[in-house]
Amino acid sequence: MEGRISADLLRGHTDTIVLGILLKNDAYGYQIYKSIMDRTDGLYQLKEATLYSSYKRLEKETCIVAYWGDESQGGRRKYYRITDKGRVQYKQNIADWEFTQRILNRLLKEEDD
């Protein structure tokens, strides 16, 4: 039996996923989307609307800042950069996730008879 990812399970972690991608480099919207697809070998796909909602939320919370690129060809791209506050938030979200995993593992583990 092969597992599958529930959209509900990951929905609350979209901001953390975005912050994690931005830890290494600034990126524009589609680049972040593509990175998610690449990292999961296409097994998980976030809707673009969900990602753009995350960008707006993170920007409002000052976890990221947006700026326009200066591409010489094609349309201008809006890039996102993680802030110091975003780095702190990412670390807290990871700690919360690890704690949640430990609790779920305890709850879902079959009892030894």
31-60 per-position pLDDT tens digit: 999 999 999 888 887 888 899 999 999 999
CA distances from 50 to 10, 18, 69, 78 (A): 11, 11, 22, 17
Position 91 in a domain: yes
Domain residues for the domain of 45 are 7-112
Report yes or no: 32 and 21 within 8 Å, Cβ to Cβ. yes
Q: Which residue has the tokens 């996102």?
A: 80
- Total domains, the chain: 1
Q: What share of the chain is helix, strand, coil (3-state, %, to 5)?
A: 55, 10, 35
Position 47 in a domain: yes
pLDDT of residue 47: 85
pLDDT in tens, 69-113: 887 677 789 999 999 999 999 999 999 999 999 999 999 987 664
Q: Quote the pTM value.
A: 0.85
Position 12 in a domain: yes
